[in-house]
Structure 1
Amino acid sequence: MVTVSPSECEVSPTWAYTLQLPHDPRAARIARVTLRAVLAGHGMCQLQDSAELLASELVTNAYRYATGPATLSLCGLARGRLRLSVWDANPHIPPPFDKRSGPLCKVPVEADGGRGLLLVCHYADAWGGYPLGDDLFGRGGKLLWCEVGVSSAGGSGAVAA
C-alpha cells in the first residue's frame, strides 16, 4: 500500500460532510454517532465497523495531542469508498503518519497508549498526514486522513509505512 496525500490523487467526492468538534472527551463518541447516521443515509452500512474505529482513533488523537477544536470530514468516493480526515491545531505529524519513522513498530505491552494510529494504518486502505500552513483564519495545524472501502471493511487492509 502506498500512502499519498489527498492532493496527489484524484478525489471526486460524491458527497461530503464536515463536523466541528469541541475539545471535549466526548468528541469521539459524537463523531461515531454522526458517522453512523451518514453511512446509513448513503447506504454504506457495511463500512460502519471499520469506519467507526478509524474515526474514533483519529478524533481521539486530536483530543489528546491538540488544544482546541478539531474537524472531522467525511467524503464518499467512487466505488463505495469513504475518506475520513481530521484536522487539529497541533502541527506535529505523529508516527507512522510522518513517513519518516520507518516500518511500523510494535508497542510495548506495558505501554498505556501508542496503538491508535497503528490501528488506523492496519484497517485503512490508504492513509497519510500533512501539515497545514496558516489560512485566513490563522488555523495551521495538520490533517490526518485515511480511506476505507467495501473490500477492506473486514479489516484485511495491508500495513505499510
Structure 2
Amino acid sequence: MVTVAPPDTWVYALRLPHDPRAARVARMTVRAALRGHGMGEVVDVVELLTSELVSNAYRHTKGPASLRLTALGGGRLRVGVWDSSPYVPAPFDKPPGEPVPYVDMGAEEGRGLFLVRKWADSWGGWTLGDGLLGRGAGKLLWFEVGARGGGRG
C-alpha cells in the first residue's frame, strides 16, 4: 500500500462579514485547520492572537475582513487579517526590532496588540495600495508562530 504524506505547506482563506460573531468564527476556523494539520501545539496562541486582530477589524471598521492562514513549512504558520481601514496601529506601524512601549493590562485599548507582540515570533502590518475610486484598499496585519519559538508558550 502506498501512503502519501500531506504537504507541510497550505493556505486557508476566510472572508468575514462585519459581525460581532466574526472573531468566534475565526477562532473555530483556526482551531479546526491547525488540529487537522497536526499543529495542535500552537492552537491556543494562534486562536488568541487571531481573535485579537479580527476583533480589532470589527471594532475599528465598518466593512468586512479577511483571515488567511498560511503554513510556511518547517512548523511555521503566518496569520494575516485584512480590513478596510488604512490605519496601521501601534506596534504594527513600527519597523521590526524597534522598541514598543509597554501597555498596562488595565488599559482600555492596545492590550490585544501587546499580546500579539509578546506571543508571536514575528509580526507586522502595512497599508495596501489604492482601491476603487482612489480610496485606500485597507491594511493587512500579520503575525507568525512556529518552529523558531513555538509561539513562546
Give your verdict on TM over 0.5. yes
The answer for the alignment partner of 2:20 in structure 1 is 25
Note the aligned Cα RMSD (angstroms): 2.1
Which segments of 5 or more consecutive residues in structure 2 lack a partner in the other structure?
A: 1-7
Work out whether residues 103 and 114 of structure 2, in 8 Å CA contact, stay in contact via their aligned partners in 1.
Answer: no
Match of 1:147 among 136, 144, 149: 144
Structure of higher CA gyration radius:
2
TM-score by length of 1: 0.80
Cα distance change of structure 1 residues 109 and 49 upon mapping to structure 2, 3 Å threshold: closer
The answer for the alignment partner of 2:11 in structure 1 is 16
Taking the aligned partners of 1:22 and 1:50, their CA distance within structure 2 comes to: 23
Tell me by how many angstroms 1:65 deviates: 1.0
Most deviating of 13-22 and 44-53: 13-22
Taking the aligned partners of 1:108 and 1:126, their CA distance within structure 2 comes to: 21
Cα distance change of structure 1 residues 75 and 111 upon mapping to structure 2, 3 Å threshold: same
**4+ runs of 1 displaced by more than 4 Å?**
135-139
Tell me by how many angstroms 1:136 deviates: 6.8
Tell me by how many angstroms 1:151 deviates: 5.0
Aligned length: 143
Match of 1:116 among 64, 88, 112: 112
SS of equivalent residue, structure 2 residue 152: coil
AA aligned opposite 2:112: G
Work out whether residues 93 and 129 of structure 1, in 8 Å CA contact, stay in contact via their aligned partners in 2.
Answer: yes
The answer for the alignment partner of 1:51 in structure 2 is 46
Work out whether residues 105 and 111 of structure 2, in 8 Å CA contact, stay in contact via their aligned partners in 1.
Answer: no
The answer for the alignment partner of 2:125 in structure 1 is 129
The answer for the alignment partner of 2:4 in structure 1 is none
Cα distance change of structure 1 residues 109 and 118 upon mapping to structure 2, 3 Å threshold: closer
Cα distance change of structure 1 residues 129 and 64 upon mapping to structure 2, 3 Å threshold: same
Tell me by how many angstroms 1:26 deviates: 1.0
TM-score by length of 2: 0.84
The answer for the alignment partner of 1:81 in structure 2 is 76
Tell me by how many angstroms 1:41 deviates: 1.2
% identity of equivalent residues: 57
Cα distance change of structure 1 residues 14 and 154 upon mapping to structure 2, 3 Å threshold: closer
Q: Which has the higher contact order (CA 8 A, sep 6+)?
A: 1
Match of 2:37 among 30, 39, 42: 42
Which segments of 5 or more consecutive residues in structure 1 lack a partner in the other structure?
A: 1-12, 157-161
AA aligned opposite 1:25: P
Taking the aligned partners of 2:39 and 2:105, their CA distance within structure 1 comes to: 35
Tell me by how many angstroms 1:108 deviates: 4.1
